[in-house]
Amino acid sequence: MGCTTTDDDKCPLASSLVDTASITELAQDQHPLFTAQIFKVSADCDIEKYDHTVSSSLDIEFTATRPSTGGPDGFDAPYFVAVTLGNRILSKHEYTAHFSFDPGATTASLSESRDSPTVHMEKGKQPYDYAVLVGFQLTHAQLQYNRTVGRYPK
């Protein structure tokens, strides 16, 4: 018998990683064409006590901005959902968030729902020992940019 819960004390932690929570695409002149951020990650989970498994349903909220001078009407940003135990990545899946800007708009919002892979809990581990992490799949240059400008690029 399983149970579905939103009890944060029992479910795996669901969050975004600071260094990968934003993605910025730069133009040739190094001015941002757009920036997207993972705004919020929330989850509930399904715990199968007798099978020793847990899976999470995620709701991910994104925001994107582009300069007031214009820019692309839309863009795709790759992101991942990973399940971890301590420093080990147990699984990682990649997805694409598609952002569309209304004519003249400088911001866009997007919500997506994803299911994490089912985790077969190791002996002696509880669901809350695991984490479900969400982040943008960045190039090395984008990661360095994030580390230079900080969590909230301007």
CATH assignment of the domain containing 16:
2.60.40
d(CA 41, CA 10): 17
Q: Is residue 152 part of a domain?
A: no
Q: Is residue 56 part of a domain?
A: yes
Q: Scanning the structure block, which residue is given the tokens 């004390």?
A: 9
Q: Is residue 21 part of a domain?
A: yes
Q: Is residue 72 part of a domain?
A: yes
Predicted pLDDT of residue 7: 53
Total tally of structural domains belonging to the chain: 1
Q: Is residue 131 part of a domain?
A: yes
Predicted pLDDT of residue 30: 76
Q: Is residue 86 part of a domain?
A: yes
Q: Is residue 153 part of a domain?
A: no
Predicted pLDDT of residue 2: 41
Contacts of 122 (CB under 8 A, 6+ apart): 85
Task: Report if pTM > 0.75.
Answer: yes
Residue 99 confidence (pLDDT) above 70:
yes
Question: Domain range spanning residue 21?
Answer: 2-147
Q: Confidence band (pLDDT; 50, 70, 90) for 9?
A: low
CA angle 134, 59, 144 (to 5 degrees): 25
Q: Confidence band (pLDDT; 50, 70, 90) for 153?
A: very low
Q: What is the pLDDT of residues 54-73, one digit of tens each?
A: 999 999 999 999 988 777 78
Predicted pLDDT of residue 104: 87
Q: Is residue 29 part of a domain?
A: yes
Q: Scanning the structure block, which residue is given the tokens 């695409």?
A: 25
Q: Scanning the structure block, which residue is given the tokens 């989850």?
A: 43
Q: Are the C-beta atoms of residues 134 and 77 closer than 8 Å to each other?
A: no
Q: What is the mean pLDDT of residues 74-95?
A: 94
Q: What is the dihedral of CA 29, 149, 134, 95, to 10 degrees?
A: 0
Average pLDDT, the chain: 88
